[in-house]
């Protein structure tokens, strides 16, 4: 039987924010910046087909923030999720160690990243990295990547380059 989803917390509740930050190794300023940026990024979404806006923000281990929004395409599989847009920006600017990820949508309760994005996040985040999900009312759920992607496959599972014998 699947575990029950955590109950959303209010981002307006200082105790909830402080507790979340302490548990996930974030400062309150990082939490607030991630929240503001992912909500703001949502406004830049290109989603004429689904009308489902998603904004993402992440902070690198160096403290640099990157934002992204979903970009849809008439050929649905070509659509790019907000999380992958933000990660693409970070990676192409030389930031490959990501400390935390935040996403925001226009629904309630908070929505989690899709499976493809979870795997993409896994490439650049430690399994203990927090993924903070905000809903339309600014309530949030914070989970570690390992909770969202248990028994994951990551870069360390691959053989070193040149080690395969033909």
Which tokens hold the place of 72? 């849809």
Does residue 123 carry a catalytic annotation?
A: no
* Residue in the structure block whose two tokens are 């909770």: 147
> Per the residue annotation, which of 28, 83, 93, 146 is the catalytic one?
83
- Separation between Cα atoms, residue 108 and residue 114, nearest integer Å: 16
Give the neighbor-by-neighbor strand order of the sheet with 130-134: 9-10, 139-144, 130-134, 98-105, 54-60, 65-69
Query: H or E stretch including 132?
Result: strand 130-134
- Separation between Cα atoms, residue 102 and residue 113, nearest integer Å: 9
Instruction: Enumerate the active-site residues.
Output: 83
């Amino acid at each position: 039987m699947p575990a029950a989803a955590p109950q959303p917390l209010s981002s307006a509740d200082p105790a909830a924010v402080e507790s979340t930050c302490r548990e996930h190794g974030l400062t309150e300023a990082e939490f607030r910046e991630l929240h503001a940026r992912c909500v703001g990024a949502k406004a830049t979404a290109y989603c004429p087909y689904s009308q489902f806006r998603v904004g993402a923000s992440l902070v690198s281990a160096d403290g640099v923030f990157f934002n992204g929004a979903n970009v849809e395409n008439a050929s649905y599989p070509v659509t790019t999720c907000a999380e992958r847009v933000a990660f693409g920006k970070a990676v192409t600017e030389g930031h490959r160690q990501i400390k935390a990820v935040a996403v925001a949508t226009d629904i309630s309760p908070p929505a989690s990243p899709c499976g493809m994005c979870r795997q993409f996040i896994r490439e650049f985040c430690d399994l203990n990295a927090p993924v903070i999900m905000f809903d339309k009312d600014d309530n949030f759920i914070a989970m570690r990547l390992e909770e969202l992607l248990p028994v994951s496959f990551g870069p360390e599972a691959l053989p070193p380059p040149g080690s395969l014998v033909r």
